[in-house]
Amino acid sequence: MTNSVTKMNDQNQEKSAMESFAFLIPLVSKKKAKSWDEVVLNLERTVQSINASESDNYLCLIAHDDKPDSSIWQHKNVVSVQLPASSISANSSVKEDKARKIKAAASWLQINSSTAHHYLMFLDADDLIDSRLVRFVLEKGNKQGYSITDGYVLDLESNLIKTILDNFHQQCGSCFIGYFRREELPLNYMDRTSVFSRIYDVKHKDHANSAIRVGKNIEKLPFPAVVYCINHINSAQQILTGNKRDIKANILKSPLLTKHILSTRYGISTGFEKANELPFEKAQKWVFIGIQKFNVLLIKYLRLDLLRRFL
What are 217-246's pLDDT values in tens digits? 999 999 999 999 988 665 555 444 445 555
DSSP state of 182: G
| CA distance between the termini of the chain | 74
Pick the more confident residue, 16 or 186: 186
Which has the higher per-residue pLDDT, 236 or 18?
18
Indicate whether 5 pLDDT > 50: no
Distances (CA, A) of 187 to 55, 126, 172, 182: 28, 26, 27, 10
What is the structure's pLDDT at 240? 45
**What is the pTM assigned to this prediction?**
0.78
Q: Are 272 and 266 in contact (CB under 8 A)?
A: no
Parallel, antiparallel or unpaired: strands 58-64 and 78-82:
parallel
Distance of CA 210 to the CA centre of its chain: 18
- Return the closest-CA partner of residue 183 out of 98, 103, 111: 111
pLDDT at 274: 41
CB contact at 8 A, 59 and 22: yes
| For range 75-94, the mean pLDDT | 87
pLDDT band at 295 (very low <50, low <70, confident <90, very high): low
Q: What is the CATH number of domain 2-149+165-224?
A: 3.90.550.10
- Residues sharing a CB contact under 8 Å with residue 186, sequence separation 6 or more, in sequence order: 103, 106, 107, 110, 194, 196, 197
CA distance 103 to 100: 5
Q: Higher confidence at residue 17 or residue 98? A: 98
Predicted confidence band at 36 (pLDDT cuts at 50, 70, 90)? very high
The whole-angstrom separation of Cα 69 and Cα 50 is: 19
CA atoms 123, 138, 222, 176: torsion sign: positive
The answer to whether residue 71 scores a pLDDT higher than 80 is yes
Residues 6+ apart with CB under 8 A from 56: 77
Q: Which value, to the nearest 10 degrees, does the dihedral of the CA atoms of residues 24, 15, 184, 87 take?
A: 20
